[in-house]
Structure 1
Amino acid sequence: MPAPTAAVDAVVAGAGRVRVGAVRLDPLTEAQVVAHVMDALERGVGGHVVTPNVDICRAAARDASLRALIDAAELAVADGMPLVWASRLLGHPLPERVTGADLIWSLTGAAAARGLPVYLIGGPPGVAGAARDALCERHPGLVVAGVHAPPYGFETSAAAMAELRGRLVAARPSLVFAGLGFPRQDRLVAALRADLPDAWFVGCGAAIAFAARSVRRAPEWMGDHGLEWLFRLLGEPRRLARRYLVDDLPFALRLLSGALLSRAFRSRSRGPGSRGQRT
């Protein structure tokens, strides 16, 4: 039986990252991510959090530049239960799913407790403002230094980018949430980090829209069982059917079946007499 390919194997890589499919992920809980970011901010060290899910993992498997974008982030955590399940099958378990939609609440709570300003980028007009109001209601004392709802494609305009840079530099936020979808949001972060080297940027996808309640989020039990995609599909079938049913679902099944084969190969390679022989 041939060994599974490296594309579906998991190894501890770099600074403790776990490889699942094409991406390398940090084995951290949400609380550990928050603690890491807050500690770095206290030391004046900035960074970037990226939250790969199945769709992002699928895209990274096909595009080396997207893999490099994820690898360059200081923290990469799994926003998707299939990635967590695959890591467990591969013998290097990620402790839990860590989503941008959860981090926007936990990180702003920690920021409010420390008086650190935050900035929101993304969503249609009015959505980021509604998210600001919801976050401030949840976390009294939270300082939202600004919100910005740029038009689609603004990142290709030198004038629009200069405007955003000016807004951010003037606001001097400690945390910036970019909710433009991968890879747009994370490429934007890469372009802006030099302007705010002490800040942390979080590529948070639909988290701003979820916080604003302009888009409903799946119940917690669906997310815990890897069914958040189904909830979103039922809500927006025309927009999401191809992504979830044609692209992501088959990819997730291949990822999990490859991880299962890798586990079986490891068990077989140890042989029936391997148990009890460790010293």
Structure 2
Amino acid sequence: MNNKIELFGISIHRLTMLNTLDILQEWLEYGDYDCKYVVTPNVDHIVLLDKSSAFKQAYSEASIIVADGKPVVMASRLLGKALPETVPGSDLVPNIFEQFQQKKLPLKVFLLGAMPGVGEKAAVNIESQWPLVKVVGTLSPEFGFEKNHIDCEKICRTVSDAEPDLLIIGLGAPKQEIWVNKYSPLLKVKVALCVGATIDFLAGNKPRAPVWMRKVGLEWLHRMCSEPKRLVKRYLVDAIVFPRLFLREVLKSFER
């Protein structure tokens, strides 16, 4: 876990998907209920991190940071500190379920996020495909909940009372990372994963990109075409800002 690189002002672990799964399995089987949380930086995160001190703070206290976006991995290789591969949150979650199922290990999960009804649909799909994975609770918080400390404490109690091993948080970045960083002391879970739209994917509410698009780093294009009103502006901004941030990293490397 000490094998990290420094990139775009954050530390990123040099872990493969298999490495990450093995670490998470150990924590979920034998770890304490101390809410170790995992974040997965992509291009949008890198752009947001450059502007938000609270987001950076959440990243600095994360237990695992693994690259989600292929441009982040490509940047690491061009800068001579190569990350082995991407570990997307939307792949990490079903891979955890599959690993526990194959090893005949029970796993208790709580789904926090997505629109009302989506978590329940995802729970049905999860338990159907991975019978040893038990969804012990779902919750779709009201819009703006993160601004109300009392509401947040109630959510923490609801999650903790369900006694899950794994908390899957799908609130979108940077809200999910900042929230779990602030409230992790109140969350009685072993591991929390900040994984964006993954609950929607598990519910079948949003389509995943075809495998070939994921392999060549075009999942962002599929998502943008699926949700143009929400994502076109974001990706246009990212396309302008990320190259500037990469150039800044290049210049830093010459200064060393």
What's the TM-score, normalizing by structure 2?
0.90
In the alignment, the residues of structure 1 paired with residue 238 and residue 222 of structure 2 have an alpha-carbon distance, to the nearest angstrom, of: 15
Q: Does the C-alpha gap of structure 1 residues 64 and 159 become closer, same or farther in structure 2, counting only changes over 3 Å?
A: closer
State the one-letter code of the partner of 1:126. G
State the match for 1:31 in structure 2. 18
Rounded Cα–Cα distance in structure 2 between residues aligned with 1:100 and 1:57? 16
User: Gaps spanning 5+ residues in structure 2: where?
Assistant: none
Range moving further from structure 2, 247-256 or 216-225: 247-256
- CA offset at residue 256 of structure 1? 4.7
- 1:149 is the counterpart of 2:136: no
| Partner deviation per Cα, 1:45-91 (whole Å, 9 max, x = no partner) | 34110011111111111223322211110000111000000111111
In structure 2, the CA distance between the partners of 1:197 and 1:91, relative to structure 1 (3 Å rule), is farther
Q: Secondary structure at the match of 2:116?
A: coil
Of 250-259 and 118-127, more deviation after overlay is shown by 250-259
Contact 2:166 2:191 in 1 (8 A): yes
Secondary structure (helix, strand or coil) at the match of 1:62 reads coil
Aligned to 1:60: 49
Contact 2:163 2:189 in 1 (8 A): no
The match for 2:244 among 254, 262, 268 is 254
CA contact (8 A) 2:159 2:188 kept: no
1:19 aligns with 2:10: no
Shift of residue 191 of structure 1?
3.2
**8 Å CA contact retained: 2:39, 2:65:** yes
Q: How far did 1:143 drift?
A: 0.9
1:191 aligned residue (182, 186, 189):
182
Q: % of aligned pairs identical?
A: 34
2:229 equivalent to 1:242 = no
Q: 2:65 aligns to what?
A: 76
1:170 aligned onto 2:161: yes
Q: How many aligned positions are there?
A: 252
| Residue 109 of structure 2: aligned partner | 118
Q: 1:182 to 1:51 in 2, by over 3 A?
A: same
TM-score (norm: length of structure 1): 0.83
Counterpart among 100, 118, 130 of residue 89 in structure 2: 100
> How large is the RMSD of aligned CA atoms in angstroms?
2.2
Q: Aligned pair in 2 of structure 1 residues 111, 175: CA closer, same or farther (>3 Å)?
A: farther
CA distance in 2, matches of 1:101, 1:249: 22
Contact 1:27 1:95 in 2 (8 A): yes
User: Aligned partners of 1:255, 1:224: CA distance in 2, in Å?
Assistant: 24
Structure 1: stretches of 5+ with no match in the other structure: 1-13, 270-279
Question: Do the aligned residues in 1 keep the contact of 2:41 with 2:67 (CA within 8 Å)?
Answer: yes
CA offsets, 1:136-185, max 9 Å, x none? 12212211111111111112224422331221121111100000011211
**Contact 1:21–1:255 (CA<8 Å) still a contact in 2?**
yes
Q: 1:214 corresponds to which residue?
A: 205
| Greater radius of gyration (CA) | 1
Q: Displacement, 1:187? A: 2.1
